[in-house]
Every structure is written in C-alpha cells, then in structure tokens.
Amino acid sequence: MIKELEQLERERLLARSEQKKYNRLSIIFGTLAISFVLGIFFESAILIIIGIIGVFAAGIFATIGYKKTEPFRKKFKTEVITTLLKQKYNDVFYNPLSSIDLNEILSTSLVKRPDRWHGEDFLSATYKNVSFKVSEFKLEERHVRRDSKGNTYVTYETYFQGRWYVYTFPRNFKNSLRILEKSFLGFAFAPNGFKKVETESIEFNKKFIVHTTDEHHAFYIITPVMIERIAMLEKGFKGTISFLFRNNELHIAVNDSSNRFEPRLDIPLTDEGLKAYDIDINIMAEIIEAFGLDRDKFQDAGL
C-alpha cells in the first residue's frame, strides 16, 4: 500500500529490538530499588545508595529505550498516518508537532485555563462537506505546597488529557448548546446566558447536563436519535466527554488520556497490521455520520 512500507517494517523491527534491550536493562536496575527499602529497614547506607542508583539507572535506560524509537515514530506519523488519512478524507493537513490554538478551546468554557499545557497531532480535513480539525491536549494545573519547615514544593496536576475535535458546517445557528457528562472536570455550572434543561430521557439526564441559550434550539438539536447517538459515542470512549454547539461549529472534548496516531511497535506494518489503526483514522468520519452533520439540518445555510 505504501511505497516504503518494507523499509519502514525493517525500521520498526530495529526500533522494537532496541527498546526491548534497554527496557530489560531498566527492569534489571529497577529491581535494585528494593535495596533502598532494605537499607532503611536495616539502617544500611550502602543499600540505600545502591537503591537510589538503581532507580536513577532504571529511569535513564527506559528513557534511552524510548529515544531509540523516536526516528521510527516520526517517520511512521509523517508517512503512514498521513497516507491512511488521505485515503479516507479530503484536504488533509497533518502536523504531529502542532495543535489547535489553545485560546480557541478556552473560548468554549468547557475547560479552565491551564498553568502548563502541551498540544500535538494537529489534523484538519473535510468529509462529506464537513470540515474538521483535531488535536491532542494535555492541560495541567500548578499546585504549591509548603511543609512545616517552610520549604516550597511545586507540582503539576493533569486535569485534561485527550482529544479535542472541532467540526465546521455551512449552517450558522443563532443559539448555543452545551452537553456535559456530569463527571467532566466538574464544569456543571451554566455560563452567563445559558440555562439548564432536561430531556425526556431519564437515563440521559442522569449521565449528562444540558445547558442552552434557547430551549427550542436545544430540543431541535437533541432529538431522540441524537440522544441515542451521543450515548453510543460516550460508551465508545474511555473517560468523559462533552459537547458544545455554537454558531456553525461542534466542539467535542474527550478527556480519556488517549494518545492516538502512535505506532504500535508490536504490530507488523502489513496491510493486515495497518487495520489496527482503523479506529483512530475512522472516528472523525463516524462522528459526522452519527450526528448527521452531513445532512440538511446542518448543511443548509438558508434554514
């Protein structure tokens, strides 16, 4: 399928071999960590030192093992993933090192502003006259702790790690609609201009909170079919999920600690092996079809 697939397969095998070698060394030195515990128990400085050395060495070898796979991972994304995406979608642009603008996702009020963040795997494309862009985000909050001696410790806690989808369609709606899974980041309050509504589905109301700027608009979007499809989509993802319909956009935030488009070193790069990536490649199209974004409700700008 891909011209250089045989060469990439050789590189995969080499990368996997190198990683396994350094992982074995990491495990061996990692077992020395037990010396640290024994050293404390027996009050032995030598055992404590051996344990500390073991922990550091294990971390270093694990890092080296991962670094050895990076050239293959980069080549896999730029060649294999890009090719698979272009077979499914039009107008494909994929940049593993870029992301959706942070301010764009913050403007949705689905997540709070992070103290530290990282974004990657930016993809934009079209499918059935619906444009979309996707990227992965890791958002972190800074925590400062002081002990009894006045020492200050700074840590960062991850509160969102997953994918952010933005779909754009021709029709521009005057009102907005938020659908939040109740455990999603604790963002259960309604922003200014929004009010809470409930659907006729008791099970849906138990799982999700619905905020809207107009009740009629809410029920125009959240039909019984849409409720069913949102529930199905939620079950297809680990973690939590939330949605925002505004203007001519649909934002979907999936907080599931996922890392898509990553090569799986244990899977051969054959036509059969590449089927393992079908879920990651097809999910954007499946959302469009499940939500009917390619149908008149969202496509007819004159409505």
Least confident of 26-35, 264-273, 290-299: 26-35
The answer on 244 and 112 residing in a single domain is yes
The answer on 23 and 154 residing in a single domain is no
By residue range, what is the domain housing residue 163? 90-299
The answer on 33 and 98 residing in a single domain is no
**Which residues, other chains included, contact 229 with Cβ-Cβ below 8 Å and sequence gap of 6+?**
290, 291
Domain termination site, one of 88, 117, 143: 88
Q: What percent of the chain has pLDDT over 70?
A: 92
pLDDT single digits (tens) 246-289 = 999 999 999 988 888 888 888 888 888 888 899 889 999 999 99
Residue 184: pLDDT band (50, 70, 90) is low
Residue 53: pLDDT band (50, 70, 90) is confident
Model pTM score: 0.84
The answer on 110 and 80 residing in a single domain is no
Whats the size of the chain, residue-wise?
303
Nearest to 177 by CA among 107, 112, 108: 108
Residue 148 has pLDDT above 70, yes or no: yes
Domain termination site, one of 60, 88, 116: 88
Domain termination site, one of 62, 88, 114: 88
The answer on 185 and 76 residing in a single domain is no
pLDDT single digits (tens) 62-118 = 888 888 888 888 888 888 999 999 999 999 999 999 999 999 999 998 998 999 999
Q: What share of the chain is helix, strand, coil (3-state, %, to 5)?
A: 45, 25, 30
